[in-house]
A and B are shown apart, each in its own frame.
Chain A
Amino acid sequence: MLSNGSRYLQFIAVATMATLISLTPGAHAQDSGTADAAEKPYRIDPDGTTDWATFNGFRRYNGNCLACHGPDGAGSSFGPALMESLKRLSYEQFFETVVNGKSDVNTATTLKMPALGTDRNVMCYIDDIYAYLKARSDGALGGGRPAKHDAKPPEAAEAEAACMAN
């Protein structure tokens, strides 16, 4: 996937113009180069090999999201199971929540999702994390570390270097 980090760059540009609302549905599919990328942004071969983005999404999810949302996107004692949430949320809703956070704090519950829009460790890999969680949510990918994965493509390495240097 060429989109590694592109959303973050776009977010920065958009945020600078203070027109976050312009992130319209459909933009993602165009970015990813295929019409159905938003619906199925991952590739898993019959032998279990995943594309780099899905595998990288697994890694970055574990580093940045697992501490609340639990292993495998399966939830914890205090964070919702994202493999379930993504059955309901669109890519745009997912993106919006990651960027701006979410709050549900009252007498019965203390759920608080932080705004991660300025966190490069998340935003540079947001599409990868989405691909991984979508694969989990669709039941296309089991729990744990994906058995095999594509090598890191040079484009991903370049996009990573550019985005992380921001």
Chain B
Amino acid sequence: MARMNPVSGVVLGLTAMATLWSVSAFANDELLSLQKDPKQWVMPLGDYSSTRYSGLDQINAKNVKDLQVAWTFSTGVLRGHEGGPLVIGNMMYIHAPFPNTVFALDLSQDGKIVWKYEPKQDPNVIPVMCCDTVNRGVAYGDGLIFLHQADTSLVALDAKTGKVAWTAVDGDPTKGETGTSAPMVIKNMVLIGNSGAEFGVVGHVTAYDTKTGKQLWRANSVGPDSDTLMDGEKTTALGKPVGKDSGITTWEGDQWKTGGGTAWGWMSYDPELNLVYYGTGNPSTWNPVQRPGDNKWSMTIFARDADTGMAKWVYQMTPHDEWDYDGVNEMILVDKEFKGKERKLLVHFDRNGFGYTLDRDTGELLVAEKFDPAVNWATKIDLKTGLPERVKEFSTEAGGEDTNTQNICPAALGSKDQQPSAYSPKSGLFYVPTNHVCMDYEPYKVAYTAGQPYVGATLSMYPPKGEENLGNFIAWDGTTGKIKWSVPEPFSVWSGALATAGDVVFYGTLEGYLKAVDAETGKELYKFKTPSGIIGNVNTYEYDGRQYVAVLSGLGGWAGIGMAAGLTGAQEGLGAVGAYQSLSQYTALGGTLTVFALPK
């Protein structure tokens, strides 16, 4: 019937109003539905489950070979570009490293700049950022764009105008606290985690009111239960109560006060369990001899109640770290059959080289297997105790101060760092960008001075003995803990992966290639060399009926530190390994967004 029934017209109108109302009232409801729309890319890791999976399939395994560059955009910043753009409706939001410029581009007007925000930040924050002035992206919610600046300020910008709605100051950069992580919006809250464990700061995650910027809760990684938001009786680790003040009793004296455990990585959220998940970083200092104890809760997976911040369960992967194996990498939430039973799982690829699968409701450890065969610091993880079975030869604690412990795999940057993986529900596989790097590690005594580096070890890094490639891009089965396929890369893969319904998986390389591989076999289907090395995360969206793939290039970060020399470029001192071509022979600096599409 062509003519509209007047009653249903009224009902429709009311429904539309109600929808609008709820959108402005509960950011969470809006995001819950937006994250399911494959045409948009509304949060850095794609959805609350951090799958980095898109249902779009216009670009697929058959036609991806025809991919072309559709348009490009320069951020005007030379430093390392981590993270990636968001796409909400016809708007794209791009961020840059320090000075943390944000651009809002209108896709309906050929990428016209609608607004630009450039904060004025004290440049003294630059040298207290451990590994370049990176930023992992902005978040959207409640009609606002949230930026976590280098100087720890959390700024809410009107998504339409770029006007500052409010600013909250999270920490003190003069003590070495900085901001690099992407915020996450949950319900009426925006959550951020801090950086600065190399400066002996105390790690924390803080929730702010999206409307006002008022602090709602803060959960420290170390210290008394009142700071860590733990309950000695109710908070569990592998099913057992953690006990009172575990964030103090596992440290010597007051060392927890400079204990680190920053939460500079990614967060995930399960709306049904109302739990937020994230990992904590290294304990300070890097010299294990100087800080006896398990150093809880550094190197830990946290499951916290989103409303109160109270910890439901924790799992410390690397107690008393001896290698800088931060636990901050992404937590991927999947519902899958495990041993014949449907389970709510959390899958995590840790810096320490083990791929963990846990029950995300209870924190039960189900699988822990090496995702790089080179890993040698531990033989295995005991699933009952959760403890790694350490190999004495590679223990820097056993070696002691002023002793160079050699051939430890992985290196401090981990078998995988913050670069997020992807999960395809179609193939059931996880796609993991990895580092294939080993190290020598010599701890020595350091003194703590507020705002100065508190490192306490010297490192040399190189590929595993007899090998030349510094990275692999792998497909992983999270239920069996086995590598399905592995593509060697000359350099560490420092870019976030994207899996799509078109059976294509995308990632970037340090030389600057955007690569597309077959989701089943890993076979390379397409590559294009962007203007600089890629440490950003690939995403995809659809606009006006056309699917696009977008990635930020711009070398830097941890990976850029080794750029001039090449991680192994100058091992004359060791006289081993064999020369490796330096990255500076392949690429140079500069932040650019490159957007790909199939020809019209």
Given A63-B457, A110-B98, A72–B570 Cβ distance below 8 Å?
Answer: yes
Given A64-B455, A70-B563, A119-B453, A112–B124 Cβ distance below 8 Å?
Answer: yes
Partner pick for B458 among A63, A78, A147, A164, CB 8 A cutoff: A63
Asked whether B449 lies within 8 Å of A119 as measured between CB atoms, the reply is: yes
Interface string of A93-121 (1 = CB under 8 A from B): 00000000101010011111110101111
Q: Which residue of A lies closest to B456 (CB)?
A: A63
Q: Which residue of B lies closest to A56 (CB)?
A: B444
Q: Which residue of A lies closest to B442 (CB)?
A: A59
- State the main secondary structure of chain B at its contact with A: loop
User: Which residues in A have their C-beta under 8 angstroms from that of B39?
Assistant: none
> Least Cβ distance of B396 to chain A in Å?
13
* In the complex, A142 has a CB within 8 A of chain B: yes
A160 to B492, CA, bound (A): 38
> Least Cβ distance of B577 to chain A in Å?
9
A4 to B446, CA, bound (A): 15
Asked whether B571 lies within 8 Å of A144 as measured between CB atoms, the reply is: yes
> Least Cβ distance of A112 to chain B in Å?
4
* In the complex, B460 has a CB within 8 A of chain A: yes
User: Which residues in B have their C-beta under 8 angstroms from that of A14?
Assistant: none
26 contacts between A and B (CB under 8 A): A48-B573, A62-B458, A63-B286, A63-B444, A63-B453, A63-B458, A67-B198, A70-B564, A70-B565, A71-B562, A71-B570, A74-B570, A77-B132, A77-B555, A77-B563, A81-B564, A105-B126, A110-B78, A110-B126, A112-B126, A121-B452, A142-B572, A143-B573, A144-B570, A145-B440, A145-B574
Asked whether A67 lies within 8 Å of B561 as measured between CB atoms, the reply is: yes
* In the complex, B404 has a CB within 8 A of chain A: yes
User: Which residues in A have their C-beta under 8 angstroms from that of B88?
Assistant: none
* In the complex, B445 has a CB within 8 A of chain A: yes
Asked whether A76 lies within 8 Å of B574 as measured between CB atoms, the reply is: no
> Least Cβ distance of B121 to chain A in Å?
10
User: Which residues in B have their C-beta under 8 angstroms from that of A152?
Assistant: 402
* In the complex, A58 has a CB within 8 A of chain B: yes
Asked whether B449 lies within 8 Å of A120 as measured between CB atoms, the reply is: yes
A62 to B324, CA, bound (A): 15
| Interface residues in A, total, Cβ within 8 A | 45
Asked whether A144 lies within 8 Å of B574 as measured between CB atoms, the reply is: yes
B:450-480 near A, CB below 8 Å: 452-461
Asked whether A143 lies within 8 Å of B562 as measured between CB atoms, the reply is: no
Asked whether A63 lies within 8 Å of B446 as measured between CB atoms, the reply is: yes
8 more contacts with CB within 8 A, not counting A63-B457, A74-B564, A75-B565, are: A48-B573, A77-B561, A116-B452, A121-B454, A144-B460, A144-B574, A147-B574, A160-B445
* In the complex, A66 has a CB within 8 A of chain B: yes
Given A67-B198, A114-B128, A119-B449, A142–B459 Cβ distance below 8 Å?
Answer: no
User: Which residues in A have their C-beta under 8 angstroms from that of B98?
Assistant: 110
B:125-148 near A, CB below 8 Å: 126-128, 130-133
> Least Cβ distance of A140 to chain B in Å?
12
Given A77-B563, A78-B560, A146-B573, A113–B442 Cβ distance below 8 Å?
Answer: no
A58 to B457, CA, bound (A): 11
B:73-117 near A, CB below 8 Å: 78-80, 98-99
A142 to B555, CA, bound (A): 26
A70 to B583, CA, bound (A): 13
* In the complex, B589 has a CB within 8 A of chain A: yes
A146 to B457, CA, bound (A): 16
User: Which residues in B have their C-beta under 8 angstroms from that of A64?
Assistant: 453, 455
> Least Cβ distance of A20 to chain B in Å?
19
* In the complex, B567 has a CB within 8 A of chain A: yes
A78 to B127, CA, bound (A): 11
Residue from the set A59, A63, A147 with the largest chain B CB neighbour count within 10 Å: A63
Residue from the set B126, B128, B198, B574 with the largest chain A CB neighbour count within 10 Å: B126
A:117-133 near B, CB below 8 Å: 118-122
A58 to B556, CA, bound (A): 23
Per CB-CB distance, the 6 closest pairs between chain A and chain B, nearest first, are: A143-B570, A142-B572, A77-B560, A144-B573, A62-B458, A114-B127
Given A143-B569, A164-B447, A118–B561 Cβ distance below 8 Å?
Answer: no
Given A112-B123, A145-B573, A119–B452 Cβ distance below 8 Å?
Answer: yes
A90 to B565, CA, bound (A): 24
> Least Cβ distance of A164 to chain B in Å?
5
User: Which residues in A have their C-beta under 8 angstroms from that of B133?
Assistant: 78, 110
A114 to B349, CA, bound (A): 34
> Least Cβ distance of A117 to chain B in Å?
10
Asked whether B453 lies within 8 Å of A143 as measured between CB atoms, the reply is: no
Q: Which residue of B lies closest to A63 (CB)?
A: B455
Given A63-B453, A78-B556, A142–B573 Cβ distance below 8 Å?
Answer: yes
A22 to B338, CA, bound (A): 72
A122 to B447, CA, bound (A): 10
* In the complex, B575 has a CB within 8 A of chain A: yes
User: Which residues in B have their C-beta under 8 angstroms from that of A101?
Assistant: 127
Interface string of B178-213 (1 = CB under 8 A from A): 000000000000000000001000000000000000
Given A63-B446, A144-B572, A145-B404, A76–B123 Cβ distance below 8 Å?
Answer: no
Asked whether B572 lies within 8 Å of A113 as measured between CB atoms, the reply is: no
> Least Cβ distance of A51 to chain B in Å?
15
> Least Cβ distance of A110 to chain B in Å?
6
Q: Which residue of A lies closest to B460 (CB)?
A: A145
A160 to B123, CA, bound (A): 32
A66 to B565, CA, bound (A): 11
> Least Cβ distance of B593 to chain A in Å?
19
> Least Cβ distance of A43 to chain B in Å?
16
